[in-house]
Amino acid sequence: MSINLKRPIVPAIAIGMLSGRTRLLGIPKERVQVVITLPDIFEFNDALYEAIEFFKDRAECFIITSSSKDKCGMLIEKYELRENLISCEYKDFAKIFNMLDEDKSLKKSLMIIDTNCQITHKDVL
């Protein structure tokens, strides 16, 4: 795959996950990166869970939320998710990717980053 000069290149950013580990976003990888931002983690639903499970071998998923760790813990328990899937550290990410609304709240979005670290799809919902 080659670089498309019409697509933005993602800056590398370290994201602290609930597991305590840091994951890197925006570095070349073998799989595409899917970033979902949810202002309220309880917007996560069965369809989203099924999509993440279906594509887990082809896509590396990140869920970034402004919800509390307690709320995230309840969701992790309900869906038996890995703690390295969710991050509550949204401020740096939101600033870099312009994901804050006029009230400085996190916007709901979906972003797909290809293996060359280019944004191939970005929807702010």
Domains located in the chain, CATH noted: 13-124 (3.40.30.10)
Measured on CA atoms in the order 94, 20, 117, 40, is the torsion positive or negative? negative
Confidence of residue 123 (pLDDT cuts 50, 70, 90): very high
Whole-model pTM over 0.85: yes
pLDDT higher than threshold 70 for residue 45: yes
Q: Which amino acid is at 65?
A: T
Residue with structure tokens 């290149």? Answer: 9
Confidence of residue 5 (pLDDT cuts 50, 70, 90): low
Residues 26-39, mean pLDDT to the nearest whole number: 94
Strands 13-16 and 59-65: unpaired
Structure tokens at 1: 């795959």
Instruction: Kindly report, residue by residue over 83-92, the tens digit of the pLDDT.
Output: 999 999 999 9
| CA distances for 43 relative to 2, 5, 91, 120, angstroms | 35, 34, 19, 24
